[in-house]
Amino acid sequence: MDLGLKDQVIIVTGGSKGIGEGVCRCLAQEQAIPVIVGRSPDEGGLLVEQFKSQGINASYIFAELADLKDCEAAVKQTAAEYGRINGLVNNAGANDSVGLEKGSPEAFQQSMQSNLYHYYYMAQLCLPWLKKFKGSIVNISSKTALTGQGGTSAYAAAKGAQLALTREWAVELLKYQIRVNAVVPAEVMTPLYQKWLSGFSNPDQKLASITKNIPLGNRMTTKEEMASAVAYLLSNQASHITGQFLFVDGGYVHLDRALAGTEL
Ligand code: NAP
């Protein structure tokens, strides 16, 4: 499907790996210009090389997003290179297990810095450009914002705040015709997820215990499935959709009670 994203410059934070990489690949297929902003230069550089070898324009910009100066430099560089920013995908983050019982105020603050604040920094820095081009923002949140997980207070708080900001910005930016939406994943196989699984004594068994609870197909969501939802929300095909939370999770968050007591 042609989403009409050709030549649109879209910043994707954490676009070198996982869901962000999937989003960049999908945008490249749509002939948009993905700008990867993140701290994985090897993977990011390789992805951009691949796109360029296929005749698709793209950029990688190094940034530790917890650092406001890096965010400022990344947006400045994108604007200088392309003269426009049409979309922002706030995606970078990591479930870092800073809990209530096992955690500390310092670790909580650090995690918020790494998971939440750059969603605000990047949106504010991109705003003049999004206003100019009636751009769009997609925030990647997590099911933990709604379901909790246990042992990950800061991450859950950051993910919940991202949903609140989605609604808040959707209202504030109505006057500029800037749409703001969130995509909410539950279980997507990515490098981050693999790393988390490898911490269990039997990762295969752990994975099987998770997928059996995913109603649609008892399988993980793919990063391509995540990416097409993000690309759709960025595009004009979603021109009257704003302030929405789109759950791309095989029914994980909403179908549990309907299925209680039935065989999956
Ligand atoms: P991933 O495989 O680790 O990819 C994320 C990318 O973002 C990595 O390149 C990572 O760099 C980068 N990144 C993270 N924090 C950063 C920071 N502060 N500054 C710069 N770069 C940063 O993760 P993913 O699974 O694709 O997750 C992407 C988003 O989806 C996250 O917001 C996550 O919370 C959300 N999510 C994922 C799942 C899932 O099942 N995978 C479920 C719910 C929500 P490094 O590799 O150097 O850390």
Q: Which two tokens stand for residue 190?
A: 């990515």
What does the pLDDT look like over 86-104, one tens digit per residue? 999 999 999 999 999 999 9
Task: Find out whether the beta carbon of 65 lies less than 6 Å from any atom of ligand 1.
Answer: yes
pLDDT band at 129 (very low <50, low <70, confident <90, very high): very high
Distance 21 CA to ligand 1 centre (A): 10
Name the one residue in this structure whose structure tokens are 């703001």.
180
What does the pLDDT look like over 203-258, one tens digit per residue? 999 999 999 999 999 999 999 999 999 999 999 999 999 999 999 999 999 997 77
Task: Find out whether the beta carbon of 192 lies less than 6 Å from any atom of ligand 1.
Answer: yes
Residue 64, pLDDT > 90, answer yes
**Positions marked active-site:** 155
Task: Find out whether the beta carbon of 38 lies less than 6 Å from any atom of ligand 1.
Answer: yes
Task: Find out whether the beta carbon of 40 lies less than 6 Å from any atom of ligand 1.
Answer: yes
Listing DSSP states for the chain in one string gives ---S-TT-EEEEETTTSHHHHHHHHHHHHTT-EEEEEES-HHHHHHHHHHHHHTT---EEEE--TTSHHHHHHHHHHHHHHHS---EEEE---------SSS--HHHHHHHHIIIIIHHHHHHHHHHHHHHHHT-EEEEE--THHHH--SS-HHHHHHHHHHHHHHHHHHHHTGGGT-EEEEEEES-B--HHHHHHHTTSSSHHHHHHHHHTT-TTTTSPBPHHHHHHHHHHHHSGGGTT--S-EEEESTTTTTSHHHHTTS--
Distance 223 CA to ligand 1 centre (A): 12
Instruction: Report the nearest-CA residue for atom 12 of ligand 1.
Output: 14
Distance 17 CA to ligand 1 centre (A): 7
In the chain, ranges of CATH 3.40.50.720 domains:
9-186+222-247
Question: C-alpha 100: how far from its chain's center?
Answer: 25
Task: Find out whether the beta carbon of 30 lies less than 6 Å from any atom of ligand 1.
Answer: no
CATH of domain 9-186+222-247: 3.40.50.720
Residue 50, pLDDT > 80, answer yes
Lowest mean pLDDT among 26-30, 162-166, 196-200: 196-200
Ligand 1 atom closest to the Cα of residue 65 is 19
Q: Which of 75, 115, 192, 222 to mutate to test the pocket of ligand 1 (most atoms within 8 A of CB)?
A: 192
Task: Find out whether the beta carbon of 94 lies less than 6 Å from any atom of ligand 1.
Answer: yes
Task: Find out whether the beta carbon of 22 lies less than 6 Å from any atom of ligand 1.
Answer: no
Q: The whole model's pTM is what?
A: 0.97
Distance 259 CA to ligand 1 centre (A): 30
Q: Which two tokens stand for residue 106?
A: 């310092």
The predicted structure's pLDDT at residue 133: 97
Q: What's the rounded mean pLDDT across residues 107-130?
A: 98
Task: Find out whether the beta carbon of 111 lies less than 6 Å from any atom of ligand 1.
Answer: no
Ligand 1 atom closest to the Cα of residue 18 is 26
Distance 18 CA to ligand 1 centre (A): 7
pLDDT band at 2 (very low <50, low <70, confident <90, very high): confident
